[in-house]
Chains A and B, each alone.
Chain A
Amino acid sequence: MGVEQKLGEMGAVTTTLEQAMNWGRTRAMWPMLFGLACCAIEMMAAQSAHYDMSRFGMELMRPSPRQADLMIVAGRVSRKMAPVLRHLFDQMAEPKWVIAMGDCASCGGVFNNYAVVQGVDEIVPVDIYVSGCPPRPEALIGGVMALYEKVEAEKIKAAA
């Protein structure tokens, strides 16, 4: 009951800059096409008609890191792949986020051996860990929702 009502007929909304910015970031967060193993199949399922991640503005999987905001590491990362993953992460434009999807990306999972990185948090800063082997599409969407909550709580800060 304030300015909204007075300006109601003009179709105006008031908000804070932070809220508007975070709303924009969360409602069109384009993930990078980065499937590494079986988790990628669940990620594709999450994109497809039945689970339909495009409800949350994520219908576009970008094959280029320069157009992506979110890296979903879907699958195990071998030691040889690790520098490539870091390179792709470095090429993504700020602001950027990372979801470690599944047990392998989060902690190495069942692959406790010389060839597999024991959690991608050794290479890139991870925002959300989604457990499961592989996680169901609902779990991934749950992870994305958790990320949205995190992003919506972000504050504007001066560029470093």
Chain B
Amino acid sequence: MDKQLQPIVQKLKKEFGAEVTEFRGDVQVLLASEKLIAASLKLRDEFDFALLSTITAVDYWPEESPRFHIVYVFNSLSKNLQLMLRVPVAGENPTIPTLTEVYKNANWRERELWDMFGIKVDGHPDLRRLLMPDDWNGHPLRKDYPLGYEEPQFTFNYEEIDLSKPHGEV
């Protein structure tokens, strides 16, 4: 672990009961969702993590608890550090608190999170879909989302598929 990261991780462990793992130099801090805001405020104000570089999630379906890990990646540009916060959530329709109060750019990232994984973000100012069309059903990056495979059209089944296919007209 980077020498500069050690005191930060120690503090997160002590104050928020975080669990710390490291893999090939990437430090991951497992945290309960109630402590997310406080921890990120601390990271931003005390430890100079000025940039929230990404928010994403991991779906551990068919596990139910935790079903998802929400992953927040913070960067400190002044100290050249990177830290990953992971928030485990359970159940089919989980809710997490919004980070938009702390990092403005969390707005679109949380919209993407909602769009792709169906994770509700509590207190978000404008929680609409970001990537998929507005009338889309479901959340495509969930493990239990069907891939939407369509039967390819060949010579032998041309007629059959042609009947069920929509056709654009002038």
B-binding residues in A (CB < 8 A): 79-80, 83, 86, 107-108, 112-115, 118-126
> Contacts A79-B133, A80-B133; is A114 near B147 (CB within 8 Å)?
yes
Q: Does A108 contact B150, Cβ atoms closer than 8 Å?
A: yes
Q: Are B150 and A125 in contact (CB under 8 A)?
A: no
Known: A80-B133, A114-B146. A121 touches B168 (CB 8 A): yes
B-side interface residues, number (CB < 8 Å):
18
Partner of B168, one of A114, A115, A123: A123
Instruction: State whether the Cβ of B163 lies closer than 8 Å to any Cβ in chain A.
Output: no
Task: Report Cα–Cα, A122/B153, bound state, in Å.
Answer: 13
The 5 A-B pairs of least Cβ separation, nearest first, read: A114-B148, A124-B168, A123-B168, A122-B166, A80-B133
Contact across chains for B150 and A112 when beta carbons are under 8 A apart: yes
Tell me if B169 counts as interface (CB < 8 A to partner A): yes
Alpha-carbon distance A120/B169, docked complex (angstroms): 11
Instruction: Collect the chain B residues with CB atoms within 8 Å of residue A79's CB.
Output: 132-133
**Complex: how many Å from CA A121 to CA B167?**
6
Partner among A86, A115, A118 whose Cβ is within 8 Å of the Cβ of B140: A115
Tell me whether chain A's interface is mostly helix, strand or loop, or mixed: loop
Residues of B within 8 A of A115 (CB): 140, 148
Considering the chains assembled together, what is the distance between the CA atoms of A100 and B149 in angstroms?
21
Most buried by B among A83, A120, A125: A125
Q: Which B positions have Cβ atoms within 8 angstroms of A?
A: 131-133, 140, 145-150, 152-153, 165-170
Task: List chain B residues, Cβ under 8 A from A83.
Answer: 133
Indicate whether A112 sits within 8 Å of B133 (C-beta atoms), given known contacts A122-B168, A125-B169: no
A114-B140, A115-B140, A126-B168 given. 16 additional CB < 8 A pairs?
A: A79-B133, A80-B132, A108-B152, A112-B149, A113-B148, A113-B149, A114-B147, A118-B165, A121-B165, A121-B168, A122-B165, A122-B168, A123-B166, A123-B168, A124-B168, A125-B167
Q: Is A112's CB under 8 angstroms from B168's CB?
A: no
What are the residues of chain B within 8 A of A112 when measuring CB–CB? Answer: 149-150, 152
| Residues on the B chain within 8 Å of A124, using CB | 168
B153 A107 Cβ-Cβ under 8 A: yes
CA distance A154 to B25 in the complex (A): 68
Known: A80-B132, A80-B133. Is A125-B168 also a contact (CB below 8 A)?
yes
Q: In this complex, which of A79, A113, A114, A123 has the most chain B Cβ atoms within 10 angstroms of its Cβ?
A: A114
- A121–B162 Cα gap in the complex (Å)? 11
**What are 29 A-to-B residue pairs whose CB atoms are below 8 Å?**
A79-B132, A79-B133, A80-B131, A83-B133, A86-B168, A107-B152, A107-B153, A108-B150, A108-B152, A112-B150, A113-B148, A113-B149, A114-B145, A114-B146, A114-B148, A115-B140, A115-B148, A118-B150, A118-B165, A119-B165, A120-B168, A121-B168, A122-B165, A122-B166, A122-B167, A122-B168, A123-B168, A125-B167, A125-B169
Least Cβ distance of A101 to chain B in Å? 16
Residues of chain A lying within 8 A (CB to CB) of residue B133: 79-80, 83
Chain A residues with CB under 8 A of B145: 114
